[in-house]
Structure 1
Amino acid sequence: MTASPDKHSFSDKPTLTGELVILRQVTEDDYPALAVAMADPDVGRLTGSHGEIGEEKAREWYRTRQDQTDRLDLAIVDKASGDVVGEAVLNEWDPDNQSCNFRILIGPAGQGRGLGTEATRLIVGYGIEEIGLHRISLGVYVFNPRAQRAYEKAGFVVEGVFRDALLWDGEWVDEVMMSVLATDWIQSGA
């Protein structure tokens, strides 16, 4: 079941519901919760984020996500608490090659309970089954094995390593490149 690249576009901003999380369009109102997540030193390290963009720019960023037709930015809502605990994003869309990149950010309040794994499965499933993507890729730093395991549970396969891709606290860190193909997704019954 390979969909055509124009089956849908990233103009659609769906709400995706799982057992643990709801993924919905991110808005400026989500900024306070996401700011807390992004300010966490471990989250910054695990995502390789250097510096802050400032509140005004961040609010503008979230205010304009619904207007973007080349990416999908969804807030991750913990169903148990109703709180926004992170974001899941499909970006770097290449419609000619039916591919895009995936990234996720989960703050401390949402970690260690399977929320990231479920959010990943939901957005990847949407990308492949509804958008018609053939390939979704990501990079994960080697000092984040928990995330790599979560991606593997969601069907991602290691493709290689970008050596010394990140300079963090004076140390070079490798980035593991992973992807999931529509054929893998369909065969796994995910």
Structure 2
Amino acid sequence: MRINEDTLLEGEHVVLVPYNPDHVPRYHQWMSSSELQKLTASAPLTLEEEYDMQRSWREDDDKCTFIILDKQQWADPTVREEDCMVGDVNIFLTDPEDPSLGELEIMIADPSYRGRGLGKEVTRMMICYGVTKLGIQKFEAKIGMDNKVSIVLFKKFHFQEVSSSEVFREVTLELTVDEAQKKWLLGNMDFMQEKQYSKTRARRMGAESSVE
């Protein structure tokens, strides 16, 4: 999705940046893991196919993807952005007739970063971005039944379980963003700053220019 190709979202512990070709080798390395393939219901791809997928995700109007970076590492100008990667987060517009419905998917791929609260921070950031920038009014999350940690995480954001599939071994949770939810989620946006993303400027100058 082109809407976020120049957008950087900075939180307390993470930075979200658009998925670009420089990120693909690290992402491909992650997805060679059978554990991540199972958790994300993904099939292994060749590196060339991964580059094709990155281009598709950048161009397609129904996918909004950010790469999750470790903010502490990212703040060090001597560290390459690719070496700061810890996961990714996506919003998929799954219903062509209802652009206000978005499927939210989060992956903390680096095991050393799990259990540190990053998933919670990223979830709030992406929900807020989806509501304010994409016009999402209802979020959906499909999670493997064995992924108890993710199920608990989404329920903390008031997602409700609406269905389950024994065949696919997954549960579907939904969140309708009504006025009460907007007040709770968007009441204080100081936790996240939206800035202009340029790979060189973001790494060397800290993306100082803000986007209003």
Which TM-score bucket, shorter chain as reference? 0.7 to 0.9
Aligned residues: percent identity? 23
Amino acid at match of 1:156: F
Amino acid at match of 2:108: I
Cα pair distance change 1:28/1:21, threshold 3 Å: same
Q: 1:62 to 1:109 in 2, by over 3 A?
A: farther
Distance (whole Å) between structure 2 residues aligned to residue 20 and residue 157 of structure 1: 27
Whole-Å separation in 2 of the counterparts to 1:103 and 1:109:
19
Equivalent in the alignment of 2:203: none
Equivalences for residues 82-121 of structure 1 within 5 A: 82=74, 83-94=84-95, 96-97=97-98, 98-107=100-109, 108-121=111-124
Aligned residues: 172
Contact 1:33 / 1:85 at 8 angstroms: preserved in 2? no
Query: Which residue is 1:150 aligned to?
Result: 153
> 1:186 matched to which residue of 2?
182
| CA-to-aligned-CA distance 1:10-55 (integer Å, 9 cap, x gap) | 5310322211111111011111221232223322222233x31111
Residue among 164, 177, 180 paired with 2:167: 164
User: Alpha carbon RMSD of aligned pairs, Å?
Assistant: 2.0
Q: Is the 8 A contact 2:163 2:171 kept in 1?
A: yes
Runs of 5+ unmatched residues, structure 2: 75-83, 187-212
CA contact (8 A) 1:43 1:106 kept: no
The answer to which structure has the higher strand fraction is 1
Q: Does the 8 Å contact 1:37/1:106 carry over to 2?
A: no
Secondary structure (helix, strand or coil) at the match of 2:73 reads: coil
The CA deviation string for residues 146-167 of structure 1, in whole angstroms up to 9 with x for no partner, is 11111122332211212221xx
- Choose which of 5, 20, 24 in structure 1 pairs with 2:17: 24
Query: Per-residue CA shift, 1:89-142, capped at 9, x if unaligned?
Result: 111343642112111222124322111221111111111122211111011111
The 2-side partners of 1:61 and 1:41 are apart by 19
By how many angstroms is 1:58 displaced? 0.2
TM-score by structure 1 length?
0.81
Q: Normalized against structure 2, the TM-score is what? A: 0.73
Write the letter of the residue equivalent to 1:11. R
**Could you say which residue in structure 1 is the equivalent of 2:26?**
33
Paired residue type of 2:3? D
Partner of 1:139: 142
Q: Against the structure 1 CA distance between its residues 22 and 141, is the aligned structure 2 distance closer, same or farther, given a 3 Å change threshold?
A: same
